[in-house]
Structure 1
Amino acid sequence: MLKNILESSYYIGFMAAGVTFVIITGGIDLSIGTVMMCSALVGAFVFKEHQWPLALALVLTVGVGTAFGFANGLLVAKLKLPPFIATLGTMMMSQGIGSIITKVQSQTWPTATAEIGGWFKKLFIRNTFFLGDTKISGFPIGALWLVAFFIIAALLLHKTKFGRYTFAIGSNEEASRLSGIDVSKWKVLIYTVCGLFAGLGGIFYAAAYTTITPGTGNGQELNAIAGVVIGGTSMSGGAGTMVGTLIGVFIMSVLKNGLSSCGLQAPWQTFFTGAVVIGAVLLDIQRTKAANRVKKG
């Protein structure tokens, strides 16, 4: 069960790390689930059908996610579309593009025993190591990748101009603009980073499950967003941490696998996930109200 919890938290974790930046600005990205799947589909397609080197296919996978993130940023920051509408549109577009490119055919990434690309799963999900004479089988190397990227995201959020402006925009966008911050430019960058993390999530989803089916991905964004909110990031913007998001992601993974272990079918799992999302948002609203009362008092 621990293996399932870890492997399902990798790709959700990458999406959650990216969307944390967006939510701190007071925005939302509903496209991360389908963008993740589209990225994985396109990468697998060029690897299997066009014999691209696996390393290049992985770069393209991240590139597709980044491109969708950039498009979201332009729609929100330059064309002034509400984030909900803009990312809802790219959610459907990315789902459609993945199906069009692959002709609605499932795509597969290499297995651990494959002649070409057998290193893929070993590098990103599980590997075997020797510690002296002791053999350690199935070491969850994906957890190291996830923690490493969360550390990078945390440094980006708390130690750089990018992070400072992310918080500033979320706290008061108009005041940020009046203080000289190019809000549009930074919003485009923030959504682009979110897309990049969705592309990384596509790599880890592919490494965990091997086969990618066109038309899927809807609902994955809810798990990521729920993890972010459970971790303490405010939906109204201006507050959040990567440590909280990482904890929230593991809570969501434990919940999903726990429900599955209890024998609940997929519709019930979806129902309870939705209930958790609503509960997390309600808690966030109460937190915000309490904080406002303290400020006024």
Structure 2
Amino acid sequence: MEDKINQTQKDHGSLLQAIGTQKLVAIIALVVLFLFFWFFGENFAKYSTIISILDSSYYIGFMAIGVTFVIITGGIDLSIGTSCICCSLITGTLFTKAGLPMPVCVVLAVLLGGLFGLANGIMVSVMKLPAFIATLGTMMITRGLGSIVTNTATVTFPQATASGGAFRSLFKLKAPGLPQAGIPTGFILLIILAVAMAVLLNKTRPGRYILSLGSNKEATRLSGVDVMKYETLAFVISGLFAGLAGVSYAAVYSTLMPGTGNGFELDAIAGVVIGGTSLAGGVGSIAGTLIGVFIMAVLKTGLPFIGVQPHYQLLITGFVLVIAVFVDVLNRRKQGKA
């Protein structure tokens, strides 16, 4: 069984090499973008700007890490954006209305995200619904659920110095004697979890099986692998990280509005694809995903510094995504995979 899995992955060796080249291009693009804004963006070259880039990358980064596992299987998860906000809305309401301790709320938010991911996994792997439809349904459910639980009222999380606000130090540490913009502890957490997930994906049996699902699902099944189990696991991981993304979003932006979160998933998926993960499945890396996320964050933060209006930011980001997907398609055509 292991030999068959290994052979399936070896068949994609040349494609992996091509994707590696795409990752290198992404790294160069990230450096060039940052230097461009550094030299031509008015007031961009500040410590506070770096913090702004990191602040805007945490929630997208966590969602992107999670959804990488789903995309590698050849699936998609459109629910992570609304799940992210829904998890924080529900747990924030439990904190403000029911007096639930904030540490419990943080853990509950992550577990609730995992529950949404489990529901997606069951619909896709057991009920055989298309991932697009299943996760689109979950997107609508979580968007509505957040509004119902909060009665359409905004939820405000406590400041760092207030009771229950200590969780913010997970993402930004502020104290007398430190820079006013704070210390980006969230970046450390993001890197630690990214390394852990990279090890899971590349060095463990579940990760290898998830990769093989995207390479050749039928061959993986015939090799004796429980396809439903590992496909569901990929969605659970995506959900858990969506819940964590909700915590980071609440820590950075404080106030959450019901009915929001739509579009977050597109930023996360764009980061994954720009980082070299193939939408056709079977190929991808967590390192590439982080690179793609930071490209998105630098674009989002840097464009206003050169006078580009918000609606043009979406236009430019869209072009970047289309180019990344086109490069993936060309790579697969060259290897006879498309």
C-alpha distance after superposition, 1:180-208 (max 9, x if no partner) = 01101111111011100100111101000
Partner of 1:189: 233
**Contact 1:24–1:166 (8 Å) recurs in 2:** yes
**Contact 2:68–2:289 (8 Å) recurs in 1:** yes
Partner of 1:71: 119
Partner of 2:62: 14
TM-score, with structure 1 as normaliser:
0.93
Q: Distance in 2 between matches of 1:76 and 1:35?
A: 17
**Contact 1:111–1:120 (8 Å) recurs in 2:** no
**Contact 2:57–2:293 (8 Å) recurs in 1:** yes
Aligned pairs (5 A) from 1:35-46: 35-46=83-94
C-alpha distance after superposition, 1:186-239 (max 9, x if no partner) = 111110111001001111010000001111101111111111111111111111
Q: Within the alignment, does 1:93 sit opposite 2:141 as a pair?
A: yes
Q: CA deviation at 1:162?
A: 1.1
Q: What is the one-letter code of the residue matched to 2:115?
A: A
Q: Within the alignment, does 1:216 sit opposite 2:260 as a pair?
A: yes
Partner of 2:74: 26
Question: Which range moves more in the overlay, 262-271 or 160-169?
Answer: 262-271
- Helix, strand or coil at the partner of 2:335: helix
Q: CA deviation at 1:159?
A: 1.0
Q: CA deviation at 1:275?
A: 2.6
TM-score, with structure 2 as normaliser:
0.82
Partner of 2:32: none
Q: What is the one-letter code of the residue matched to 2:144?
A: G
Question: Which range moves more in the overlay, 168-177 or 280-289?
Answer: 280-289
Q: What is the one-letter code of the residue matched to 2:316?
A: F
Q: CA deviation at 1:123?
A: 2.8
**Contact 1:124–1:207 (8 Å) recurs in 2:** yes
Residue from 200, 206, 214 that aligns with 1:170: 214
**Contact 1:110–1:120 (8 Å) recurs in 2:** no
- Stretches of structure 2 that go unaligned for 5 or more consecutive residues are 1-48
Tell me: CA distance 1:262–1:43, structure 2 relative to 1, closer, same or farther (3 Å): farther
- Stretches of structure 1 that go unaligned for 5 or more consecutive residues are 130-134
> Percentage identity across aligned positions?
52
**What is the Cα-based RMSD across aligned positions, in Å?**
1.5
Residue from 95, 114, 126 that aligns with 2:173: 126
Partner of 2:128: 80
Residue from 279, 290, 309 that aligns with 1:235: 279
**Contact 2:103–2:167 (8 Å) recurs in 1:** no
Q: Within the alignment, does 1:136 sit opposite 2:183 as a pair?
A: no
Partner of 1:117: 164
Q: CA deviation at 1:119?
A: 1.3
